[in-house]
A and B are shown apart, each in its own frame.
Chain A
């Protein structure tokens, strides 16, 4: 079974700062590792994903760093904005059928 550990559980960042969320997984997988963003009262939405053979992927202010040997990956949000305040989930693929194992979630609050 795949285990995913996400930290921190909650994060408070000032507007314009960098938000960093970390995830560690246990078992090697060969599909994409995604990050999802969830606003209160809404369903999670795919934010960004990275292939396991790539060390970094950047989309706008969001960057995933992937360390395959350490089995860790992280999300960096540059120039964090109050609109980024949400819960962020990392996920690792496992087995067949599109199965994703989610981390515990990080509640990000960006203060103006």
Chain B
């Protein structure tokens, strides 16, 4: 029944490690997003994929690499983790076009880098 799911919910790791976050949506949407929410709750888009094609690529360190194996899945791989990467990462999905503002968010992955 879950519309947008993410795994894991919590991720605690040390600096320098590599980690991945997975996202899946069962809403039939054609567009998926990654957002970062910092400790002040500021929400900023990182990437967006439409039908497996990267369409939004914000100014994000290239240690972050998204991958979309199909339009229902979007993963985020982070290399050489840094303290500043600690945040909550949200996956979201929507239809592209006029209803692009209607985004459905997952429960988030709280990443803590020590």
Give the B-binding residues of A (Cβ under 8 A). 31-34, 38, 41-46, 49, 87, 89, 91, 93, 95-102, 104-105, 107
Contacts and interface: CB of A to CB of B under 8 A. Distances in A.
A65 B39 CA distance: 29
User: What is the interface of chain B mostly: helix, strand, loop, or mixed?
Assistant: strand
Interface residues of B, number: 27
Contact of A96 (B41, B42, B55, B92): B55
B31 to A, nearest CB: 6
Contact of B98 (A31, A34, A38, A46): A31
Interface string B78-107: 000000000000101010101011111111
B56 interface: yes
Interface stretch (B13-21, B43-51, B65-73): B43-51
A105 B42 contact: yes
Q: Nearest 6 pairs between A and B by C-beta?
A: A98-B100, A43-B105, A97-B55, A32-B101, A102-B43, A97-B56
Contacts, number: 75
A97 B101 contact: no
A42 B110 CA distance: 11
Contacts of A96: 55-56
Contacts of B50: 97
A44 B105 contact: yes
Given A31-B100, A97-B96, A105 B41 contact: yes
